[in-house]
Amino acid sequence: MRNLNRREFLQYAGALSVLGASGCTSLSGAATSGPHIVVVGGGFGGATCAKYLRKLAGPAIAITLIEKNRQYVTCPFSNTVIGGLRTLDTLTHNYETLAKKYNIDVVYDTVTGVDATAKSVSLSGGKKLSYERLVISPGIDFKWGALEGYDEAASEILPHAWKAGAQTTLLRKQLVDMPDGGVVVMVAPADPFRCPPGPYERASLIAHYLKQSKPKSKIVILDAKDKFSKQGLFQDAWEELYKGMIEWVPGSQGGKVTRVDVKTHAVYADTSEHKGDVINVIPPQKAGNLAHSAGLTNETGWCPVDPRTFESKLHANIHVIGDACLGGKMPKSGYAAHSQAKVCAAQIAALLIGQPPVDPSWINTCYSLIAPDYGITVAAVYRATPEGIVDVQGAGGVSPREAPHSVRAAEAVYADGWYKSVTADAFS
């Protein structure tokens, strides 16, 4: 065991004396008398943060997790449902273990207001909770109307399926109902957006389904961008597995969609009309609505944060993690949110006992499935710098472009293991 240096020991000792003064009974009983940390949002960011606060800050603090739904369906792996490889129930998690095993007070409600001065949050049920520190992990919301004609009502007809659940099921059903020879149009947004490789994994797994069940069908991806995550790997695999089935149209070559017509099942990019039997519109995004109403966003629509602690640059004692924050070079992914949540929990544990923040480090590992036995990854290790979070040069990167099938098959097997481990680490 490593010896603590004198400074660290004094900090622990100081923290202990505070505990002694504030009544240690809370250590063995219900954690109600210690400082109260409120976490809002039960996705990969919020669930993980609540759990790791308990692991890292100990039993004396009170932790409340506020989430509007009793169940959480993960976006990671939801493309496997769209491709017919899995059912939605295998991606559905709940908060019972967090409540029971980690003594987290899970409140199923919606936050209606944040008072950063009084350090309290109001819930739609009428409750008001005071906090020592607030962590919000609200994920994304869509910029309805940014694509002309595409609002929430339109998404019930032309699904986005970019928040998993009913939308995932709807897109899957439309693909199943589509006749052979149909055209699937996908609209992919400009950066930044949730899950950079996600649209291309989705196209791959839809192609996998169509190849087996409706081989005369086609997929057209109309992209606002000219390049995308793991592009070479995806395009190599499309050529190998789905030749002629997937057409990718980059933004500079007519891919930039500006208008959607729900009635005629058409989207418009520059001057061209594209009709689809199934149309999947992944709209432009912004930080979750709560981040906006709480005054935590800047002109980008996302939340500026301290790169070491994720404390908001706009409001003290409020931390923003996950897709909603401006996390430097980290992508908006479930794994990134999960990694940020652990750092945030550790920093809050340090701050609660008067320690300065610890020098942080993060990992992101994103698996994409191109077929059930064909996986690829992108990975990176990140550090905080005064300019923000950056990836460590010389580390990370994507799977090798030239690799035998055994490597792709191994990554597909590990993708499944990744899902099991990351969801267990977040929710149980």
Applying CB under 8 A, the residues found at the interface with other proteins are 1-4, 6, 8-9, 12-13, 15-16, 19-20, 24-25, 27-28, 52, 54-60, 335, 338-339, 342-343, 346, 349-350, 353, 355, 358-363, 365, 377, 379-381, 392, 394-397, 399, 407, 410-411, 413-414, 416-425
Q: Yes or no: say if 262 and 185 are a contact pair by the CB < 8 Å rule.
A: no
| Cβ nearer to other proteins, comparing 315 with 342 | 342
| Cβ nearer to other proteins, comparing 295 with 417 | 417
Burial class (CB in 10 A: 0-12, 13-18, 19+), 314: middle
- Min. distance of Cβ 152 from other proteins in angstroms? 32
Supply the Cα-derived Rg of the chain in whole angstroms.
23
Q: Yes or no: say if 411 and 378 are a contact pair by the CB < 8 Å rule.
A: no
Cα–Cα nearest to 104, from 112, 96, 115: 96
| Cβ nearer to other proteins, comparing 16 with 118 | 16
- Min. distance of Cβ 397 from other proteins in angstroms? 5
- Min. distance of Cβ 21 from other proteins in angstroms? 10
Q: Yes or no: say if 37 and 133 are a contact pair by the CB < 8 Å rule.
A: yes
| Cβ nearer to other proteins, comparing 233 with 290 | 233
Residues 6+ positions from 327 with CB-CB distance below 8 Å: 305, 307, 336, 340, 389
- Min. distance of Cβ 285 from other proteins in angstroms? 23
Please write down the long-range contacts of 119-124, taking CB distance under 8 Å and 24 or more positions apart: 119/317, 121/38, 121/40, 121/66, 123/66
Q: Yes or no: say if 82 and 171 are a contact pair by the CB < 8 Å rule.
A: yes
The tally of CA atoms less than 13 A away on the side-chain side of residue 79 is 23
- Min. distance of Cβ 417 from other proteins in angstroms? 3
Neighbours of 32 (CB within 10 A): 12
| Cβ nearer to other proteins, comparing 304 with 357 | 357
| DSSP bridge pairs for 384 | 389
- Min. distance of Cβ 180 from other proteins in angstroms? 35
| Cβ nearer to other proteins, comparing 171 with 344 | 344
- Min. distance of Cβ 236 from other proteins in angstroms? 17
| Cβ nearer to other proteins, comparing 137 with 423 | 423
| Cβ nearer to other proteins, comparing 142 with 335 | 335
Burial class (CB in 10 A: 0-12, 13-18, 19+), 234: buried
- Min. distance of Cβ 44 from other proteins in angstroms? 9
